[in-house]
Structure 1
Amino acid sequence: MISTPLADGVIDVHAHWLPTELFHLPPGAPYGPMRDHEGALHLGDIPLSIPTRAMSDIDAILTDMRATGVGVRVLSAPPFAFPVGGGDGVGGYVAAFNEALAAVVGDAGGRLVGLGMVSLDEPAVARAEMERLARTEGMAGIAIPPLLTGRSLDQGSLRSILADAEDLGLAVLVHPMQLPRPEWSEHYLANLIGNPVETATAVAALLLGGVKEQLPRLRICFVHGGGCAPALLGRWTHGWHSRADVRRHSTRPPDQVFGELFFDTVTHDPQLLRSLTAHASKDGVVCGSDYPFDMAQSDPVRFATEHGPAAEALTANARAFLGL
């Protein structure tokens, strides 16, 4: 619920924050815990190449916003804090994060907005958490992973969460988990290849699974420019027309539904952003930064406005995503 007027300027819908008291991460987290080492943030023994305070210090976030021309920043948890492991203690971690995030956005004078966390393994619990978020000032929705226990957005608890988000009017940001695979163990490929592939899988599941057709009011955004999805849209559409098994769960081809989704501008390539803008609707591209990670778009507003929609359109699109 956002009743307080937001600050002027471009809205960055994709940025991360986690308070230091939650660096231990939820039970069953595949990485971690997070820790500070001489001012630098580590995930277990893995250096994240960012200052610790960039993740946890609101003053550092606001300073970065001023330096990069961001008017409003939408904060969500870093993906390794998503409660994908389930089990005892998850509900307490989720509640602690949502309460802490609501407090910092509430004190930011309209410069920050929150996307909360939900328990992923128990739909009834997630529903109750989402109902609380829908009543909480400054919280516009939730952030979720694209995959969970081998399923994507068209099946299982993630599908249930999307239905509840539509019902409650909450925005949904889908962020990849950087899941490890043996063939991606070197060269940072779990991120460089894994993240865009995870996102493309989720977009395909949403389109070919008929989820957006069944949930027409769902406001859902895929980060990193939709990963591989824009480049694969023609292939998916050809498959939909050519094969009955591809189209059996949907009534419209993927290229007709793609324009009903939101995508951020974190593409790292002007030509890719122009291609995304051509494939998505004029209302579906929103500014993102991926702050504070090393793979962030370091000058997000300049990059987005030079190679994508104008600032006014980016802001209007983000307000629509957030339900304003």
Structure 2
Amino acid sequence: MIVDCHAHLVPPALLESIRANKARFPNVRQIESADGLALAFAGGKPTRPVSKPLSDIGGRIAWMNKQGIDRQVVGGWVDMFGYELQGEEGIAWSMAINEALLAAAKAEPRFVPLASVPLGDGKAAASVLKAAMAAGCPGTMIGTLPRGVGSTLDHSDLDPFWAAADETGAVVHIHPSFDAGDVRVNDFNLANGIGRITDAAVAVARLLMAGHVTRYRNVKFFAPMGAAALPFVIGRLKRTQAITPGVADPAQGLSLLYTDTILHDPRVLKFVAGMVGADRLMMGSDMPFPIGDLEPLRIVADAGFDAAQAASINGGLAEKLFRLA
């Protein structure tokens, strides 16, 4: 089985439901334009419009067929996770996303859905995660900023969520956010080129140093894009641990992470494999975004893995991790 472990989907039925149920979500403003539907949560600034490729299921299946991909693990779109929504509205919003993803996967079984959770509230996120896992999701995709720019995933308020992920053995895909607050990446398309990496690196490094990755050992922590450059800086993190009292061992945590191949350079992929182990790697595309890998099997072939390693990276590990068997 060939499995793309990292992709995004906004089912058309979800957009239809959002448009038809404005009263259900009073703190979600809808902005229609020729480019699609944008959203603003709780008085915040609007998201980017939902791009057509995010909802083009036919086009996605055609691309999978061309690439020889059997299954695709799909989270929603981080811009739409709505962590700003409070209480029951936040819970209802996440559940609406999950219901649409589960329905899309039922209609097209080649999709494997990752749940959204209301991460602004750790207890609510725990409850929604458990419900989504019971309904068939193997885990969740979360953004790096649960309460906006400057917030962290290791805050004690989120302990109930991490405990629930540990209890259920969930895959937790830690996905970078669109705007992490660093305006220096707003030129040259560096938000894609480096901003996604730095955002994820800081978020996951905090989880390593805080000890979450070693404490919640039943969680399958997934840090995309070659573990977000952390293999390159692990020596610095180890040195930081040595001079900083009370910090967990980042090297032990790094060895427990799972990651994907979206690096666009086979030399870098081989380096990451040497640092974290080829048995922690999974082939991914980041479809449908332009910064993703449109021919994701090629980098695995070009990196020169042996047959057993390539089979694991191209689907064997994902089949186990996402419970596809």
TM range (shorter): 0.7 to 0.9
User: Would the alpha carbon gap of residues 51 and 87 (structure 1) be closer, same or farther in structure 2, given more than 3 Å must change?
Assistant: closer
1:5 aligns with: none
| 2:261 pairs with one of 257, 261, 265 | 265
Matched, 1:13 2:5: yes
Report percent identity of matched pairs.
25
SS of residue matched to 2:135: coil
- Residues 151-174 of structure 1: per-residue CA shift (max 9 Å, x gap): 323224444322211111221111
2:167 aligns with: 167
CA contact (8 A) 1:289 1:296 kept: yes
Please give the residue correspondences for 1:64-213 in structure 2 after superposition, counting only pairs within 5 Å.
64-87=63-86, 89-109=89-109, 111-137=110-136, 139-149=137-147, 150-179=150-179, 180-213=181-214
CA contact (8 A) 2:145 2:153 kept: yes
User: Aligned AA for 2:285?
Assistant: S
- Separation of aligned partners in 2, 1:270 and 1:285: 13
Please give the residue correspondences for 1:174-253 in structure 2 after superposition, counting only pairs within 5 Å.
174-179=174-179, 180-241=181-242, 243-245=243-245, 248-250=246-248, 253=249
1:4 aligns with: none
Matched, 1:278 2:274: yes
SS of residue matched to 1:295: coil
Moved more, 306-315 or 74-83: 306-315
CA contact (8 A) 1:117 1:143 kept: yes
- Residues 189-218 of structure 1: per-residue CA shift (max 9 Å, x gap): 223222101111122112111112211111
- Separation of aligned partners in 2, 1:98 and 1:46: 19
CA contact (8 A) 1:10 1:311 kept: no
User: Aligned AA for 1:283?
Assistant: D
SS of residue matched to 2:255: helix
Please give the residue correspondences for 1:14-33 in structure 2 after superposition, counting only pairs within 5 Å.
14-20=6-12, 22-23=14-15
SS of residue matched to 1:220: strand
TM-score, structure 2 normalization: 0.84
SS of residue matched to 1:70: coil
Shift of 1:238: 1.9
User: Aligned AA for 2:197?
Assistant: P
1:320 aligns with: 320
Shift of 1:41: 5.6
Give structure 1 stretches of 5+ with no counterpart.
1-8
User: Would the alpha carbon gap of residues 201 and 230 (structure 1) be closer, same or farther in structure 2, given more than 3 Å must change?
Assistant: same
- Separation of aligned partners in 2, 1:164 and 1:204: 21
User: Would the alpha carbon gap of residues 129 and 308 (structure 1) be closer, same or farther in structure 2, given more than 3 Å must change?
Assistant: farther
- Residues 207-243 of structure 1: per-residue CA shift (max 9 Å, x gap): 11111221111101111222221221111112222x0
2:295 aligns with: 299
Give structure 2 stretches of 5+ with no counterpart.
20-24, 40-45
Shift of 1:22: 4.2
- Separation of aligned partners in 2, 1:206 and 1:308: 32
- Separation of aligned partners in 2, 1:269 and 1:300: 11
Moved more, 162-171 or 14-23: 14-23
TM-score, structure 1 normalization: 0.84
CA contact (8 A) 1:153 1:159 kept: no
CA contact (8 A) 2:214 2:252 kept: no
Shift of 1:34: 7.5
Shift of 1:295: 0.7
- Which protein has greater RCO, CA pairs closer than 8 Å, 6+ apart? 1
Moved more, 72-81 or 122-131: 122-131
User: Would the alpha carbon gap of residues 255 and 244 (structure 1) be closer, same or farther in structure 2, given more than 3 Å must change?
Assistant: same
CA contact (8 A) 1:123 1:161 kept: yes
CA contact (8 A) 2:123 2:161 kept: no
CA contact (8 A) 1:27 1:85 kept: no
SS of residue matched to 1:260: coil
